[in-house]
Amino acid sequence: MGGLLFGYDTGVISGALLLIKKQMALGSFQEELVVSAVLIGCILGAAASGRLADKIGRRMTILACAGVFCLGSLLAGLAQSLTGLIAGRIVLGLAIGVASAVVPLYISELSPPKIRGALVSLNQLMITIGIVCSYLIDDLFIAADQGWRYMFLMGLIPSAVLGAGMLFLPPSPRWLINRGDNQKAEGILARINGRAEGRAQLESILAQTAADRADGPTLTAVWLRPALVLGIGIMFIQQATGINTVIYYAPTIFEMAGFKSDAAAVWATIGVGLVNVALTVVSIRLVDRWGRRKLVSIGLLGMVASLIALGAVFIMTGRPDPIWKWLAVVALGCYIAAFAVSLGPVAWLVVSEIYPQAVRGRAMSLATLANWSFNFLVALTFLSIVDLLGRTGAFWLYAAIGIIGWFLARRYLPETKGISLERLEADLRAGRSMRDLGRAD
Ligand code: BGC
């Protein structure tokens, strides 16, 4: 539900904006404010998430988040002025920022290593489903009087489900052990993994916590730096290869390619969303079998090839042969598919795995802060880059960043498939290179 709200509340604005613009007679700057308010909230929420998750725990943080999601949906849905609407969108952003960091962190700490990849990636699946739901709900209310209010208010349903659901879930055993509550942690580990395996995990987490206590790692510890840089780096590549230009601007891109009708734009957008969902399912099936490295490597190659093709198609569109605009559709579909099997889920997965227990909350918060900041920058600059470099130049720029990402991933991305979080931490502490974390000696 946390992922669903992430996707829903970022996606819902595309339809809501069309109605708000008319009703409130917004100028383009005010329009940009309504859209970007949520991203500003996300940046603030991501920055605060780590301290919160370490202090009150992952479960309580998500529970609080559900309350903030409700509040934001109400504020935005019932807003009587532009200021009220912007305030509501910032509050929603705060909740998204916190949830985007803490939900994968919580799932990762709760999961048995063998299926951790699939379980954490379920969060990404819910993000993509949330995005599609937002398009469908927008479509449902687009003709209603003050329809935008219902669009925001619908967010109340998953927020309430998230809050109610969290009441039945246990706290993270790793967080409990960090606080010295070993007995409760053992019960939870046994419930998830069975008694014997739960006991073994408890021992290994205890040993790791003892090591942490001995040298109390902080975010500034030298041995932690490579992991911090990797986390920020993978978020940069995830965002700077342009995913959200497609998610936010799909209709604009299709218009550029020569599709003129509104219906075509709507179907294009829903189609993009569905491909995103379908291929995320494929990724979930593969991530614990093929591993993270293989998926990122193949996915990035696919993204680069599609971006190059998309750029090339824009040289040809405008010519009489309609084949070019259909090629743009194919290239965009392949691009989304390649993202959905690789960087979409794997970026969030890897940052939920590579940090040591004592600072996992704060380190994850830093990576998430980076994600939202790059997201904001790319959204802000896309149209100016198109003005500056042309459509072809813009997509080729994203392709160039993808090529750099491919080389960096080959060199630095660890294979965390099936490896326990404690083993990863021990390797990091021992000064192993990022690429070698979790590798057999
Ligand atoms: C990214 C979002 C993106 C979404 C699309 C996520 O992993 O962080 O920026 O909108 O995937 O599916």
- Tens of pLDDT, residue by residue over 399-425, are 999 999 999 999 999 999 999 999 999
Side chain identity, residue 181: D
Distance from residue 235's CA to the centre of ligand 1 (Å): 10
The closest-lying atom of ligand 1 relative to the alpha carbon of residue 124 is 7
pLDDT for the residue numbered 261:
73
What local confidence, expressed as pLDDT, does residue 420 receive?
92
With bands split at pLDDT 50, 70 and 90, how would you rate the model's confidence at 3?
very high
For ligand 1, whether the C-beta of 101 sits within 6 Å is no
Rounded CA-CA distance 283/344 in Å is: 9
Residue 121 beta carbon below 6 angstroms from any ligand 1 atom: no
What are 145-177's pLDDT values in tens digits? 999 999 999 999 999 999 999 999 999 999 999
For ligand 1, the distance from its centroid to the CA atom of residue 127, given in whole angstroms, is 7
* Whole-structure pTM value: 0.93
More confident of the two residues 194 and 266: 194
Model pLDDT, residue 318: 61
Q: Which of 114-128, 303-317, 412-426 has the lowest mean pLDDT?
A: 303-317
344 pocket-lining for ligand 1 (C-beta < 6 Å) = yes
- The alpha carbon of 213 and the centre of ligand 1 are apart by a number of angstroms equal to 36
Q: What's the CA-to-centroid distance between 244 and ligand 1, angstroms?
A: 7
**CB distance 127 to ligand 1 below 6 Å:** yes
Give the confidence band of 319 by pLDDT, cuts at 50, 70, 90.
low
CA 192 to each of CA 53, 91, 153, 197, 201: distance values in angstroms, whole numbers, following the listed order:
21, 34, 35, 9, 11
Nearest Cα residue to 35 out of 266, 247, 315, 305: 247
pLDDT at 324: 79
Q: Residue 202 carries which side chain, given as an amino acid letter?
A: L
H or E element: which one contains 342? none
- The C-alpha angle with vertex 162 and arms to 156 and 163, in degrees rounded to 5, equals 90
Distance 439 CA to ligand 1 centre (A): 29
Q: How confident is the prediction for the chain on average, in pLDDT?
A: 92
Nearest CA to ligand 1 atom 6: 344
Which residue CA neighbors atom 10 of ligand 1 most closely? 244
Q: Using the atom order of ligand 1, give the atom closest to the CA of residue 100.
A: 8
Range name among 76-85, 93-102, 110-119, 378-387 with the lowest pLDDT average? 378-387
Closest C-alpha residue for ligand 1 atom 11: 344
Rounded (10°) CA dihedral 254, 260, 261, 263: -10
What tokens were used for 60? 């309580």
